[in-house]
């Protein structure tokens, strides 16, 4: 029997732009995701986060779900433009109050809040001034972090500076499939450095206010496979992608230096002169924990000169590659099974990753801050959402965490992505990751079988069997029903019919 002690944190995660909606309310400023999602062709079906899950108005109900799930912790992100509309200058009191109330309600429910300061919704004014290509953005971020530590400090269990800077830099500035949609390889590398700098400056700023603050960063580690493990050329492709995707962040943040092979691999693109004297000492801050997001593995091979890089990152396709400097690396489709994202399912790689991080950074605990799966869920005639593949995915990955712990890895928590179906970036509402279903017509929340299964896990602290999905806790505010009352709540949606029709 796989069991977890009382100190291990079971949680679930969300991000501000993906769930909040209310993008123009109570003084919130525009973010790069507002601009990007409203750009024709940028997202699937032209979806935007204008309404999303309407969490901004329904947060009390959502805290009720979090409490009913028995979560120890909840990982949320603050929308920078909600609390500081232009990214600089005075705070927006209504925005600060929203998060203060939310954090208080979580605490009152016995749930520890983990707060991410940047989950991709940069204030648009900062992007207009150059975005993450501009060094000043790192300093603006530190000011915002300091202000949040002052305003919310005693309410936060752990501060996470950045979520997945890989996505911000390479999807935002190289392949352009995320906001701000730029396709400039040299800019992407400048963004990498300015994000690293922002992380270090923010940790310093938070600890100026709260000397004992628990600080972390969340990275999406690429667990790499060589197409032919016996081929040294393929092994070198693994090395190259490991450098640009993983070590570009762990190097400066955890070891105080950029990898030499990364500098060499990208020499034709940039001379890295944006790294100034003293920067690396700032970036390299002691952390309380390392956040690990893991979904699937990545297989590569060395491609001949002139052989275009085949598809890339598991994100939306683009003519421009996110893999800066890696024109001679081809990405090979892994064996299945796959989720609805087309991502392969490989739980054993999570054990491997956690053990590898423990070997490299033995004194740094890890937390799995995101793991989960999108599938094409349906509401059954019995009114329930039977999602056995998601239950299996969660089961197998939590077992993989337990296996890493048994072998010595210091893993302190696991956060299922996601609490709610939500705005999945460029895929809009067409991909559902929630353990709670959101009906995008009525905005009604319905627990999927995976939520019932997860609630059993949090209560018993033993990994339940995959068929152990019967409702066992009273669910607050989430009646089970097969169909929604016609039109209920639809008036608040920009295009409810369209979102519901493909749900």
Q: Does 424 bind ligand FCB (CB under 6 A)?
A: yes
Q: Does 417 bind ligand FCB (CB under 6 A)?
A: yes
> CA-CA distance, 317 to 177, in Å (whole number)?
7
Q: Does 377 bind ligand FCB (CB under 6 A)?
A: no
Task: Give how far Cα 228 sits from Cα of 236, 248, 337, Å.
Answer: 11, 25, 20
Q: What is the chain's Cα-based Rg?
A: 21
Q: Does 398 bind ligand FCB (CB under 6 A)?
A: no
Kindly provide the b/e burial profile for residues 441-456, where b requires at least 16 CB atoms within 10 angstroms of the residue's own CB. Answer: bbbbbbbbbbbbbbbb
Nearer to ligand FCB, 285 or 293 (CB): 293
List the catalytic residue out of 20, 127, 164, 444. Answer: 164
Of 12, 16, 161, 163, which one interacts with ligand FCB (CB under 6 A)? Answer: 163
Residues 265-304 as x/- pattern, contact with ligand FCB by CB under 6 A: ----------------------------x-----------
* 3-class DSSP assignment, residue 233: helix
List the catalytic residue out of 20, 127, 370, 444. Answer: 370
| Shortest separation between residue 327's beta carbon and ligand FCB, angstroms | 24
Please report how many Cα atoms fall inside a 13 Å half-sphere around the Cα of residue 145, on the Cβ side: 30
Size, binding site for ligand FCB by CB under 6 A: 12
Of 138, 140, 149, 167, which one interacts with ligand FCB (CB under 6 A)? Answer: 167
Looking only at residues 11 through 50 of this chain, which bind ligand FCB when binding is defined by CB under 6 A? Answer: 15, 18
CB 438, CB 428: distance < 8 Å: no
Q: Does 132 bind ligand FCB (CB under 6 A)?
A: no
The DSSP element (H or E) to which 173 belongs, if any, is: helix 172-173
Nearer to ligand FCB, 292 or 475 (CB): 292
Give the range of 51-59, 159-167, 181-189, 263-271 binding ligand FCB by CB under 6 A. 159-167
> CA-CA distance, 77 to 479, in Å (whole number)?
27
Nearer to ligand FCB, 282 or 289 (CB): 289
Of 36, 294, 425, 447, which one interacts with ligand FCB (CB under 6 A)? Answer: 425
Of 20, 72, 127, 164, which one interacts with ligand FCB (CB under 6 A)? Answer: 164
Q: Which residues contact 187 (CB under 8 A, 6 or more apart)?
A: 133, 173, 174
Give the range of 86-94, 270-278, 417-425, 450-458 binding ligand FCB by CB under 6 A. 417-425
Of 20, 72, 234, 370, which one interacts with ligand FCB (CB under 6 A)? Answer: 370
127 among known catalytic residues:
no
Give the range of 82-90, 161-169, 391-399, 448-456 binding ligand FCB by CB under 6 A. 161-169
Nearer to ligand FCB, 303 or 420 (CB): 420
370 among known catalytic residues:
yes
Kindly provide the b/e burial profile for residues 94-116, where b requires at least 16 CB atoms within 10 angstroms of the residue's own CB. Answer: ebbebbeebbebbeeeebbbbbb
> CA-CA distance, 145 to 10, in Å (whole number)?
26
> CA-CA distance, 248 to 222, in Å (whole number)?
12
Task: Give how far Cα 438 sits from Cα of 81, 429, 447, 449, Å.
Answer: 25, 10, 9, 14
Q: Which residues bind ligand FCB (CB under 6 A)?
A: 15, 18, 163-164, 167, 220, 293, 370, 417, 424-425, 433
Q: What is the set of active-site residues? A: 164, 370
């Amino acid at each position: 029997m796989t069991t977890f002690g009382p100190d291990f944190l079971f949680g679930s995660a969300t991000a501000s732009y993906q769930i909040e909606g209310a993008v123009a309310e109570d003084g919130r400023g525009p973010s790069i995701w507002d601009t990007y999602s409203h750009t024709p062709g940028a997202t699937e079906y032209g979806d935007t986060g204008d309404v999303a899950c309407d969490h901004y108005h329904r947060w009390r109900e959502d805290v009720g779900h979090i409490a009913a799930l028995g979560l120890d912790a909840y990982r949320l992100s603050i929308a920078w433009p909600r609390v500081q509309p232009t990214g600089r200058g005075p705070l927006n009191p209504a925005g600060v109050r929203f998060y203060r109330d939310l954090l208080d309600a979580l605490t009152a429910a016995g749930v520890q809040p983990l707060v991410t300061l940047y989950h991709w919704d940069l204030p648009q004014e900062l992007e207009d001034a150059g975005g993450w290509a501009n060094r000043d953005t790192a300093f603006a971020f530190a000011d915002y972090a300091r202000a949040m530590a002052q305003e919310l400090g005693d309410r936060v269990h752990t501060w996470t500076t950045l979520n997945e800077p890989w996505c911000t830099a390479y999807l935002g500035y190289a392949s352009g499939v995320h906001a701000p949609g730029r396709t400039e390889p040299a800019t992407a590398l400048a963004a990498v450095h300015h994000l690293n700098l922002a992380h270090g400056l923010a940790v310093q700023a938070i600890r100026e206010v709260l000397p004992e603050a628990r600080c972390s960063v969340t990275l999406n580690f690429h667990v790499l496979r060589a197409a032919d493990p016996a081929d040294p050329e393929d092994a070198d492709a693994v090395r190259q992608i490991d450098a640009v995707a993983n070590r570009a962040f762990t190097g400066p943040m955890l070891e105080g230096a950029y990898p030499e092979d990364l500098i060499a691999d990208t020499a034709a693109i940039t001379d890295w002169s944006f790294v100034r004297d003293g920067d690396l000492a700032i970036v390299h801050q002691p952390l309380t924990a390392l956040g690990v997001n893991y979904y699937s593995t990545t297989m590569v091979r060395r491609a001949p000169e002139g052989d275009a890089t085949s598809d890339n990152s598991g994100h939306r396709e683009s003519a421009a590659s996110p893999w800066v400097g890696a024109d001679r690396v081809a990405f090979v489709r892994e064996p299945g099974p796959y989720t609805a994202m087309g991502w392969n399912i490989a739980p054993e790689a999570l054990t491997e990753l956690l053990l590898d991080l423990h070997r490299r950074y033995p004194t740094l605990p890890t937390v799995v801050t995101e793991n989960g799966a999108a599938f094409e869920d349906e509401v059954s005639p019995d009114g329930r959402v039977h999602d056995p593949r998601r239950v299996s995915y969660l089961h197998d990955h939590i077992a993989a965490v337990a296996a890493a712990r048994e072998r010595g890895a210091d893993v302190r928590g696991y956060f299922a992505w996601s609490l709610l179906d939500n705005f999945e970036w460029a895929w809009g509402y067409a991909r559902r990751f929630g353990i709670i279903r959101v009906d995008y017509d009525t905005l009604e929340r319905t627990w999927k079988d995976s939520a019932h299964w997860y609630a059993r896990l949090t209560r018993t602290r033993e990994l339940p069997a995959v068929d152990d999905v019967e409702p066992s806790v009273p669910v607050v505010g989430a009646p089970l029903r097969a169909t929604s009352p016609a039109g209920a709540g639809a008036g608040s949606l920009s295009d409810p019919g369209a979102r519901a029709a493909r749900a």
